Structure 1
Amino acid sequence: MAEARPCILIPVYNHPTTIGPVCDELAFLGIPLLLVDDGCDDECAAELDRLATGGHHLLRLTSNQGKGAAVRAGLQEAQRLGYTHALQVDADGQHASEDLPAFLATLESAPETLVVGYPRYDASVPRMRFFGRYATHVWVWINTLSLEIRDSMCGVRLYPVAALNRLLARHPCGDRMTFDTEVLVRWHWAGGALAHRPVRVHYPRDGVSHFALWRDNRQISAMHTRLFFGMLLRLPRLLARCLRRQYARVAL
């Protein structure tokens, strides 16, 4: 198998004060950064231009299309540039960079595994956001007939680029906030290997959120409904997989 060539993929939409420090923090990993400008305003676009001048690769979308569209574009660009893996990280600085080497440590032993972060919150997490995630967790467990996806909403994950792009060519998984969840469900349905690593999460007091309450909740509800009917179509295969895994555990 060819040697792994990872990059860090950061979708960016109007985080002018945090994206620079995030890039500086990630320098210790020693791998290239791929920044995706998702139609940022002038202030953030100028900061991204500065970072690109400093050596980071910048992909600029002509208009704001949403996080999912930005990640898809970034994954296609990563493959064009010859990277085998993309470590997706959010631009707002919420995630502890010290926890990221554990994701990259899987490259040699499990290069085809999609490694998903699960959050370890401190006291800064808003209670509504903390408990609200469980509605999505429950639907994901129903739609996969499995507890294998520990958290489908964390913005840190290591993607095998070529395999993900093949999946996304068939199932784009949404342009906005639905992407992170749907791509994991569809990866699981396809039989892709998953692993999980903890990530400490801190919510800054002055943090910027681009979650649009009515639009994004409507899209998330539609996604779960669509995935539920997709699960029903795959029910015999998913049940057979559950039985095989249960038998394997008993045999051990």
Structure 2
Amino acid sequence: MAEPRTADEVAARAPRAADLADLDAAISDCFACPRLVAWREDVAAVRRAAFRDQEYWGRPVPGFGAADARIAILGLAPAAHGGNRTGRIFTGDRSGDVLFAALHRAGLANQPTSVAADDGLTLRDIRIFSAVRCAPPENKPTPAERDTCAPWLHREVELIRPTLRVVVALGAFAWAAWWPVLSQVYGVRPPSPRPAFGHGANWSGGTAAPELLGCYHVSQQNTFTGRLTPAMLDEVFARAKHLAAVD
């Protein structure tokens, strides 16, 4: 099947993904956003000096984790020299170091590090994906890029919907990206006005949709300054496990 190269082609291809493996393969072959395609490929060609001997993934980064996840982590987009290099979300960068250490402490990951796609990492009861699947310049996707990528997110949530109970939104961008999922996947009208994002913010979908938890993004800007601490992350994942009835 031809690679999606327009927003309309993404919107047509995503709903046809039969399972997560099919969806992941389709995402990895997406070329629908010219600016993002140019950026991800340029980064992969130029490379950071520390990784100059490595072959970069340089493509959209699919989700990662359990197919029967009860908890989902929704991020913004892959990092230029993290997921865009390794091919796995939050893998090979400082943000991932913080995130997976917290997941390991929470008993949701079998190891505290995520350095490469073949490093043996497995997740329990959790799946991780992002609102935009390509690394964007300055970590800032445009609204049009977000909307073009949205059908991938909607289909991924649809595929794990039978077990999904809690979504942890990392940052305000991910928090905002969740509201269209409510209407597209769950048939639930998003609240108006939208609840404000904040660390520890909580919106309940009742029995109709997953709980939504807000968490500051695990960016270096937040973790190096102490705006987000390991204890704060531990509290979020303890809350998520409680709401999702994960032991």
Normalised by the length of structure 2, the TM-score is: 0.28
Greater Rg over alpha carbons, structure: 1
- Flag the structure with higher strand content: 1
- Flag the structure with higher helix content: 1
Relative contact order (C-alpha < 8 Å, sep 6+): which is higher?
1
